[in-house]
Amino acid sequence: MKTLLITLTIAVTSLVASAQVIKLKQPLEPITDSIIYQTDNVIIIFDRQELATYMTGMDTVLRNSRYDNKVFNSVQLSRFNKIDMANHFLKAYCYLEDTANKDFSYSTSKMNMLWAEDGGIMLPYVELLIPDLLAAGMARIIERSSKGLQLSYRMIAEPVNGVNYRTYRLNNGKEVFRESTFRAEQLTGFTQSR
């Protein structure tokens, strides 16, 4: 019986550990109004309209849920009460809708304040949207070291606290984006005794 369980565990683990290859949707049309998100290894570029569509949809969902912060499943937004959630979303939505605002460039090496008066207020929503865009092949990825556009990349399921999150990697193994960073509480080695 023990051998059977070990064999089943190995089989399931090998299926989960296998990566799904994602290819960009062709043809690549020029993006006129883009949002740029830079990590240590890559630059992710996607159309501002994708974020506008996402925010419009979330506006309806938030109203129906009475501005419950759990709608987003985001570590950054998890501490908001309903009033703060409504205010933050409205402020971000208005910033995005104002066509005069062009500050939509983000970097993991730069700190953004959650209640920023600039494009930084959009960062939590951008980080929630990126995994879905990557899964659909709707974001462009440029490797920083080679400056080359990546036409395909891998998606790997990463289990954290019993929930699978998506991790995206280039074909050479460099990390593109890790969903668990923004959706799951990261526990450290510190434990508190009661």
Domain assignments of the chain as residue spans, ordered by start: 19-183
Q: Please give the full DSSP string across the chain, using - where no structure is assigned.
A: -HHHHHHHHHHHHHHHHSPEEEE--SS-PPPSSEEEEE-SSEEEEEEHHHHHHHHHHHHHHHHHTTS-GGGT--TTTTT--HHHHHHHHHHHHHHHH-TT----EEETTS---TT-SSGGGGHHHHHHHHHHHHHHT-SEEEETTT-PEESEEEEEEEEETTEEEEEEEETTS-EEEETHHHHS----S-----
In whole angstroms, give the CA distance from residue 11 to residue 59: 42
**pLDDT value at 108 more than 80:** yes
Given this model, what pLDDT does residue 194 score?
Answer: 39
Which pLDDT band holds residue 186 (cuts at 50, 70, 90)?
low
pLDDT value, residue 26 = 58
Burial of 44 (0-12, 13-18, 19+ CB in 10 A): buried
User: Is the pLDDT reported for residue 187 higher than 70?
Assistant: no
pLDDT band per the 50, 70, 90 thresholds, residue 181:
confident
Q: pTM to 2 decimals?
A: 0.81
pLDDT at 17 over 60: no
**pLDDT grade for 15, boundaries at 50, 70 and 90:** very low
Categorize the per-residue pLDDT at 136 as very low, low, confident or very high, splitting at 50, 70 and 90. Answer: very high
Mean pLDDT calculated for residue range 171-185: 88
Whole-angstrom Cα distance, residue 45 to residue 83?
A: 32
